[in-house]
Structure 1
Amino acid sequence: MRPKHSPSLASHFWRRPDSASSLNLLCLLLTLIALAVQFSAFGANSLITAAICSTGIVLAILQHYALKPLLQEIAALNLHAQNLQDGSFNTNANQTKIHQLSELATSLANMSAQLSSERATLYQRELLLDTVLQSSPTAMLLTDANNTVLMSNPAARQLLNMGKALNGHKLEDLIAPVPALVKAVASLQPGLLHLADNSIWHLAISQFTLNQKQHHLYLLKPLTREIQREELSAWKKLLRVIGHELNNTLAPLSSLAFSGGQLAQQQQHAQLSQLFDTISERCLHLNQFVQAYIQFAKLPPPQPGVVNWPRLINQLQDQYEFELVDDLPATDWLADVQQLTQLLLNLLKNAHESGSAAAQITLKLVEQPDTLLLVVQDGGGGMSDETLQHALVPFYTSKSGGSGIGLTLCRDIIEAHGGHISLRNYAGGLEVTLLLPKHQPRQTT
């Protein structure tokens, strides 16, 4: 049903003093004046009276037919104006009926075209904005003055309510399990937040007035991976500098120790010869230790190629004993085979060093539409909460004599492939899951 509008242009035309009704009244007035003149000048004369009345009627009829095309134009423009008011911008007045008011019709048509274009542009912008919000990893929450959630995106729903709807809930109830977020929201203080799961987020808060009511917009951006990446880059730079300085020292020191050992042997100084041998041995050990760190610091970008899974599994089983669970992937997957082999060897080595029986160490490859999961499990009892929390931090180790770069190197390799690594304790041991994406990022040169 069309909503009620103000009186149409046509009805106004009949009601205003310059409308057709006024012209009819003018015809009547002229007729009465002519009759008054007749009676005052000529007296009663039926023929003259009839002529005057007929002339008035004819004049009224003529002005009616003369105004009819104009009234049709006004009706057409009035219908166009009503369509605009209803939000229909794709209709125009019937141009075959527009003659005298063509300029007005053209203005209305231009207005329709402009409004239609602006509405289409606005719709595309809203669609783009909605797409960005729905796909953004940044959690977004919009609340009213009562802290009731009015809008949220999937990232916010996943962070605060396991993917369930948030609209209509009180913000304080949703963030109650996250004390750091409760404190930041209560003080309206933006900044970095360190959550209990060791994830790092940046909180931004905006206040604005909408429909004369106060609203708050909360944006939580995940920064864990970016900070870890920067931290790893800083460690690698430090390693390269330290490695260079140590190599510059170890090379002449090793050479001097070797020369000293040769001289001690010639002079038959057994204790001195043993001393130089010890120095040479420690220099060699330190050089190997430094080279391992330098290799980690200089990990090249992956060169993806099709993985030959049977050959890869055979190479792994030549080094470490484990059980392959389920079948190998049926489709082609791309990865740097050398780096992937090194990654899996590190994980299998850790599994054996955990004290697990070889029969309890398993490798399972699970194909998904866009990702491949590589899951290594052992029966070594798992990790403590502290070790699990810091296992991927460079140089952190719970092993005596460990370097602390094994799992960090694994993380570096899988993230260079566009994936990620996760660790968790399960019944009886540790489970390490690698996610390898099917479409990997392009390598920049």
Structure 2
Amino acid sequence: MALKRPDHVLRLTRLSSQSRLNLLCAALTLLALILQQQYLGTDMLLSAGICAFFLALAILQQRALAPLHREIQALILHAQNLQDGSFNTSANQLRVHELKPLADSLNQMSAQLRSERATLYQRELLLDTVLQSSPTALLLTDAADTVLMSNPAARRLLHQGKAFDGSKLFSVATDKPELHKALTGRQQGLIRLDNAEQSVWHLSVSQFQLNQKLHWLYLLKPLTREIQREELNAWKKLLRVIGHELNNTLAPLSSLAFSGKAMADKQHLAALSQLFDTISERCLHLNQFVQAYIQFAKLPAPKLAPVNWPRLINQLQDQYDFELLGQLPVLQWQADPQQLTQLLLNILKNAHESGSAPEQISLRLLEQNTALTLCVQDGGGGIPDDVLQHVLVPFYTSKTTGSGIGLTLCRDIIEAHGGTISLRNNAGGLLVSLTLPRHDGF
């Protein structure tokens, strides 16, 4: 059983060091006066000398401890700065000598906290940058389904770009029934949205504890481009196989047709010669058709070079009539000149084949620091909505003589440059927008 200290002992332990020393001097003075009275008798002068001696001793010890007190005050100030989150200060080395090891420890602690805070700030800044620029829509809600945080991708997808933090989750995305149902029901998996720029999304939902409270995290990742890319790669592989087999068949057919025509001409068999001419013509036409698909399937990676815009515009206007709106880009942009020319020629060709008058076809280049948008507008009446959703699918065409690879090739070229293509009906015609990113170093 622990012994309890008397109250007067506890009060003494709570005194400061200076007060204890002063109390000790007073006790020694009293003891000296008692001894004087007992052995030397009453002598006022000696008593005054004893009191003066111990008073001087108290003053000297107080002055001797003053530097230590200043060191302690400096360290206390430093500790208070650390407590307030100010890690850029350090203990005053000019005033700290006796307690230098403690001051060094505090300085090391300050440096470590300063470094950790800088690292934490950089991580938070990086995380915020990633969240703000990520195409993945992020939603954080509490246990009551109140939205606590959303990034720009989530606001664009769910609320037309407007902030909705603080709202209930089931009150947003009401215009997208499939998405609304999946979010409120926490149904993980693929979601298909009609009439949206990104039509395929993947929803993942997870829960975790934050500050001892339940939270829900919703991640919506756009998969449209990935699926389209894989679909395009599959079509290209199929085209290469079919093209190889057709070429193996067309080559001997063309040779046999040529030999047969030569034999028919020698024997003056006009009908048979005409038949071989027809076979040769169809073989040639089929070969050209196959080569066009093979060219699409074997599109090489773009060889980037600075774009000469005046030269490019002149080459385009030599092939098709259109009106150039606005100014040419001022910044330097990189692209594969041949592929970019082919891309714009295909779009201008479609614009002329839409039935639009040449004076209604225009090209506008909208320049920003990070991206260049090329807009081709025609006046051909646009495309029906049910057709517009499929125009970028390989082999899909509404033309009786079309191959269905023109716009698919355009998408393949612009995506190989890291850009995007979009089509929408606008101003009585079709508006094709091509976004070309600005590459590093320019």
TM-score by length of structure 1 reads 0.83
Q: 2 CA distance for matches of 1:95 and 1:313?
A: 71
Q: Deviations over 1:285-320 (max 9, x none)?
A: 221211111121222333455656666556545544
Question: Is the counterpart of residue 124 in structure 1 residue 112 in structure 2?
Answer: no
1:69/1:368 Cα in 2 relative to 1: closer, same or farther (>3 Å)? Answer: closer
Larger mean Cα displacement after TM superposition, 208-217 or 240-249: 208-217
Question: Are 2:364 and 1:368 equivalent residues in the alignment?
Answer: no
**Counterpart residue identity of residue 235, structure 1:** W
Residue correspondence of structure 1 range 220-299 to structure 2 within 5 A: 220-266=220-266, 273=273, 275-299=275-299
Query: Within 1, Cα distance between the matches of 2:176 and 2:304?
Result: 41
Mark the CA change 1:13 to 1:404 in structure 2 (over 3 Å): closer, same or farther: farther
What residue number does 1:347 align with?
347
- 2:229 is matched by which residue type in structure 1? R
Name the amino acid aligned to 1:97.
R
Q: CA RMSD in A?
A: 3.2
User: Aligned partners of 2:344 and 2:125: how far apart in 1?
Assistant: 44
Structure 1 equivalent of residue 59 of structure 2: 61
Q: Which amino acid aligns with 1:145?
A: A
Cα deviation 1:331-354 (Å, max 9, x = unaligned): 476544433333333233323433
Tell me the equivalent position of 1:384: 384
Percent of counterpart pairs with the same letter?
A: 67
Secondary structure class of the residue paired with 2:392 = coil
In 2, distance between residues paired with 1:441 and 1:111? 41
8 A contact 1:247–1:287 mirrored in 2: yes
Aligned residues: 428
Q: Report the equivalent of 1:166.
A: 164
Aligned residue number for residue 205 of structure 1: 205
CA shift for structure 1 position 213: 1.3
TM superposition shift of 1:209: 1.4
Of the structure 1 ranges 426-435 and 382-391, higher mean CA displacement relative to structure 2 is found in 426-435
Are 2:424 and 2:432, in contact at CA under 8 Å, matched by a contact in 1?
A: yes
AA at the equivalent of 1:389: Q
Cα 1:78/1:323, change in 2 over 3 Å: closer
- The answer for unaligned runs of 5 or more in structure 2 is 1-9
Corresponding residue for residue 156 of structure 1 = 154
Instruction: Identify unmatched segments of 5+ residues in structure 1.
Output: 1-11
Does the 8 A contact of 1:194 with 1:201 survive in 2? yes
The superposition leaves residues 410-442 of structure 1 with CA deviations (integer Å, 9 ceiling, x where unpaired) of 2222333343322112343322233344x3479
Verify the 8 A CA contact 1:190 1:205 in the aligned structure 2: yes
Q: SS where residue 97 of structure 1 aligns?
A: coil
Question: Against the structure 1 CA distance between its residues 16 and 408, is the aligned structure 2 distance closer, same or farther, given a 3 Å change threshold?
Answer: same
**Mapped partners of 1:98, 1:336: distance in 2:** 68
Map 1:324-343 onto structure 2 (within 5 A): 324-326=323-325, 329=328, 331=330, 335-343=335-343
What displacement does 1:389 show?
A: 0.1
Listed one character per residue, the Cα deviations across residues 3-52 of structure 1 (whole Å, up to 9, x for unaligned) are xxxxxxxxx99963572222322333333334444445555554554454
Question: Where do residues 32-47 of structure 1 align in structure 2 (5 Å cutoff)?
Answer: 32-41=30-39, 44-46=42-44
Using structure 2 for the length normalisation, give the TM-score: 0.84
Deviation at 1:362, TM superposition (A): 0.9
**1:335–1:417: 8 Å Cα contact kept in structure 2?**
yes
Letter in 2 for 1:329: L
The superposition leaves residues 227-264 of structure 1 with CA deviations (integer Å, 9 ceiling, x where unpaired) of 32232222222211211111011111222233334445
Look up the equivalent residue of 2:339 and give its one-letter code: Q
